[in-house]
């Protein structure tokens, strides 16, 4: 399946209009239809059959550039059921979780299909993605969005409506991505299904979720020391000699955590540094490392 269209624009596909001020609109091409803006109407028939990179004018002679939306541009404007994983975090997951062509990957949950689309591209035609989504309406939205983003539903994708924790007896996988409220509840499944050296990656929004997931990974004694981080993205203003950071930035969206599966029977290396005083004080309610009890 070709995940990227080329050639002239055709009826039914989505395009991206950009004006001189950087305002953008995603529209679906329909013969005979017009897209209305404050600067006049854009005729779809002026676009259908023409190549990417053209400039069309509205009825009031206002210009728009026309391109097919890139995947990261499409996902931020796709119809949503659940909140999406934004491009800055999807990029980190693909790299830090080392999603490779041919990889066998589990994803929970599918949400609106944002990360799903990136994963399907990354694993290629030889890999397999097993997505689990609790809500049927979210799963249907994810399927629709993936089909639109990738111009079809790949054979490498299995979407299941149900709880991932009920799939502990499935085949071995290389990577597990957990985008859920309580990813620590899937650690037993990760111990069962991840190959030695495989990676579990958690995507969580709050510090309390982050702490509980990390401490649960440590308590399981089946993974390397977890690595946690977040990514902040800031665009720059470029105007002659006025080159400076933008005043606004894409700040916190979520925390990411990765850890690697140890071989059966092996235990993680002991930490060489003791926790900071008070790290496991009387108010701490999560799991505790056994050697600190």
113 annotated as a binding-site residue: yes
Q: Is 46 helix (H, G, I), strand (E, B) or coil?
A: helix
- The two three-digit tokens of residue 183, written as one number: 């990813």
Query: Could you tell me if 256 and 89 are in contact, meaning their C-beta atoms sit under 8 angstroms apart?
Result: yes
112 is in an annotated binding site: yes
163 among annotated binding-site residues: yes
Is 179 annotated in a binding site? The answer is yes
Q: Is 66 helix (H, G, I), strand (E, B) or coil?
A: strand
Tokens of 261: 């599966």
**Can you tell me the distance from the alpha carbon of 65 to that of 56, in angstroms, rounded to the nearest whole number?**
7
- Whether 59 has a binding-site annotation, put simply, is no
The CA distances from residue 293 to 34, 221, 280, in Å, are 69, 15, 9
Separation of CA 292 from chain center: 36
Radius of gyration of the chain (CA): 23
- Which residues fall in the annotated binding site for S-adenosyl-L-methionine? 112-115, 133, 163, 179
- Which residues fall in the annotated binding site? 112-115, 133, 163, 179
């Amino acid at each position: 399946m070709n995940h990227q269209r080329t050639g002239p624009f055709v009826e039914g596909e989505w395009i991206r209009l950009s004006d001189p001020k950087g305002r953008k609109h995603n529209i679906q091409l329909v013969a005979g239809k017009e897209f209305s803006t404050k600067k006049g109407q854009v005729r779809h028939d002026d676009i259908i059959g023409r190549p990417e990179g053209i400039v069309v004018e509205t009825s009031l002679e206002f210009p728009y550039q026309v391109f097919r939306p890139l995947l990261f541009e499409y996902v931020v404007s796709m119809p949503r059921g659940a909140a999406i994983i934004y491009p800055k975090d999807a990029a980190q997951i693909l790299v830090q979780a080392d999603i490779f062509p041919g990889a066998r990957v589990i994803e929970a949950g599918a949400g609106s299909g944002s990360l799903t689309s990136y994963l399907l591209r990354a694993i290629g035609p030889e890999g397999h993605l097993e997505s689990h989504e609790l809500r049927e309406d979210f799963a249907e939205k994810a399927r629709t969005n993936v089909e639109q983003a990738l111009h079809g539903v790949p054979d490498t994708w299995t979407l299941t409506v149900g709880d991932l924790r009920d799939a502990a007896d499935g085949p071995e996988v290389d990577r597990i991505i957990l985008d859920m409220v309580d990813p620590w509840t899937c650690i037993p499944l990760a111990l069962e299904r991840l190959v030695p050296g495989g990676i579990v990656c958690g995507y969580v929004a709050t510090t309390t979720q982050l702490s509980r997931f990390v401490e649960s990974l440590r308590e399981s004694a089946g993974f390397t020391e977890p690595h946690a981080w977040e990514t902040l993205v800031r665009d720059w203003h470029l105007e002659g000699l006025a080159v400076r950071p933008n005043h606004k930035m894409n700040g916190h969206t979520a925390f990411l955590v990765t850890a690697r599966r140890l071989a059966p029977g092996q235990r993680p290396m002991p930490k060489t540094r003791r926790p900071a005083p008070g790290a496991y004080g009387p108010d701490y309610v999560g799991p505790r490392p056994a050697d600190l009890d």
